[in-house]
Amino acid sequence: MSTKIKFELEYLLKVSIKVLENSVSTPAGLAEWFADDVNVKEDVYTFIWNKSEEKARLKQKKSGSYVRFKWLNDEEEGNDVFFEFNYALDPLTKSLVFKIVDFADEDDLKEAKHLWDSQIQELKRHLGA
């Protein structure tokens, strides 16, 4: 069992919840910004980057609120970790607050945050947000 550290990153997006939800919860949407390709069978999503792939189970999903996945290797190792896309409309700015919740080893924390920042830039380009 690993001792990964939980971290959260927050971004403001100018896009509707419905459009964002499609991008974070469907294989086609995720393949536009998160991975090169995404396949799903039942509740297991296969994320493909270059020639490598990682599998994650869809653990929870609440329409208009969040999507939570757990990597299968963490599931097999009994690690109580996940990654989550959490989103809500800010009533003052009317912008969508998009939060990433993830876990990383202490030595990899800076790199993990940088990776998410670059992924979110790709998402913004895809959404025109």
- Split into its structural domains, the chain has a count of 1
Residue 129: predicted pLDDT: 67
From residue 117, alpha-carbon distances to 23, 27, 43, 113, 129 in Å are 16, 21, 26, 6, 14
Give dist(CA 98, CA 92) in Å, integer: 15
Give pTM, 2 decimals: 0.89
Q: What is the pLDDT of residues 87-118, one digit of tens each?
A: 999 888 888 999 999 999 999 999 999 999 99
Residue 93: predicted pLDDT: 82
Q: For residues 100-118, b (16+ Cβ closer than 10 Å) or e, as one string?
A: bbbbbeeeeeeebeeebee
Domain extent at residue 108? 5-127
Cβ atoms of 102 and 124 within 8 Å: the answer is no
Q: What is the pLDDT of residues 36-65, one digit of tens each?
A: 999 999 999 999 999 899 999 999 999 999
The domain spanning residue 35 has which CATH number?
3.30.530.20
Q: What is the pLDDT of residues 5-23, one digit of tens each?
A: 999 999 999 888 999 999 9
Q: Which pair of structure tokens corresponds to residue 54? A: 């990682």
